[in-house]
Amino acid sequence: MPRSARRHTGLYDRDVMKRQRRRSLGRAPFLVVAYDIADARRLRRVRRTVMGFGAPAQESVFHCRLWPEELMRLQAALALIIDHSADTVRYYPLCEADVNHLKIDGIAQCIDFSGYIVV
């Protein structure tokens, strides 16, 4: 069905409104992504890929705020890169209470995701 036909039937508007409503209900869930990659070339590719979804916390640890469909895209992209018999990627979801009580010692700083808009 062409987009113009969907607009007339209300399907297009309903889909857009549903997505906007879901996004406006709150922030995307917080996730810690950690990986251990055996090969230097794959390590660089994994790091570049995860950088597109979050902010580095350490060498192989990233803080991300991802909606479920974004998480699926990240997992699919990483599945094509890693060697499943030698590499590991872990996804740790954190609830807002845990994120609010995050403690960091040393020179690292906590990433503030409040100003980010995912397009």
Residue 34 is encoded by which pair of tokens?
A: 């950690």
The angle, 0 to 180 degrees and rounded to 10, between the axes of the packed helices 40-51 and 68-81 is 160
Nearest to 49 by CA among 24, 29, 76: 76
Give the pLDDT mean for 93-116: 69
Backbone phi, psi, residue 36, to 5°: -135, 110
Sign of CA dihedral 78, 80, 82, 85: positive
C-beta of residue 35 within 8 angstroms of C-beta of residue 90: yes
Question: Which residue bears the tokens 């690292």?
Answer: 108
Q: How far apart are CA 92 and CA 56, in angstroms?
A: 15
pLDDT at residue 96, as a whole number: 81
Query: Hey, what domains does the chain have and what are their CATH numbers?
Result: 28-100 (3.30.70.240)
Residue 70 scores a pLDDT above 80: yes
Give the pLDDT mean for 20-43: 82
% residues pLDDT > 70 (the chain): 66
